[in-house]
Chains A and B, each alone.
Chain A
């Protein structure tokens, strides 16, 4: 699996179609962000998802990376101006939560 689209295409369950689309959109939005932390978080999360879909990482390992990134992201979000906090949280913490709860469990189960 070389890209996120390929990884997500493996999930055929129609009940998570919306979650897949939302996740892909959030990753793309994050990668296009001008802020280095948001951009890097999105790039890393994409890579972790691909690694899980290739069977190169376990759910445990994915969860470890996500929980670590969440700690870092909480600090980052808190350091942002109030107006920018909601977007920063959406593109870092919420995106990681979406992957951990809706996407990766299905990739691991394949």
Chain B
């Protein structure tokens, strides 16, 4: 038995009070932060589509270096986001991996054609938004 049970209980309560806010902050921090990450990935992909939509049906002047730099930057965002997801959330990891794959396919299409038709851009944006909305609603 503890020599000073009342003192022990008081210490335990103080410790609990100290830990509880931390645990609560973890619970509320993790979800919103991963949602923000997904939102950032979605926005980056949507902005890429907007950037490479043919203006007036014609491609803008092609800048290979700028394109490569933009693709590398967004690819890194996906890589970082995937790496940040713990193994305990495999569905989220798979979602980000698939989304990165979709981005690479769009980048390949732009690399080939230098711009995207306005109809394709509208359809692609709708597809991406629905895809992200579905996951964001689940979290």
Contacts and interface: CB of A to CB of B under 8 A. Distances in A.
A51 B119 CA distance: 7
Contact of A57 (B95, B120, B127): B120
Mostly helix, strand, loop or mixed at chain B's interface? helix
Given A40-B130, A44-B127, A61 B117 contact: yes
B98 interface: yes
A70 B54 CA distance: 26
A51 B130 CA distance: 19
Interface in B81-127: 94-95, 98, 101-102, 105-106, 109, 112-113, 116-120, 123-124, 126-127
Nearest to B119: A56
A37 B106 CA distance: 22
A44 B117 contact: no
Contacts of B102: 68, 71
Interface residues of A, number: 21
Nearest to A47: B123
Contacts of B109: 60-61, 64
Given A51-B123, A71-B98, A72-B98, A56 B130 contact: no
Interface in B46-90: none
Interface of A: 36-37, 40, 44, 47-48, 51, 54, 56-58, 60-61, 64-65, 67-69, 71-72, 75
Closest 5 CB pairs of A and B: A56-B119, A61-B120, A51-B119, A57-B119, A68-B102
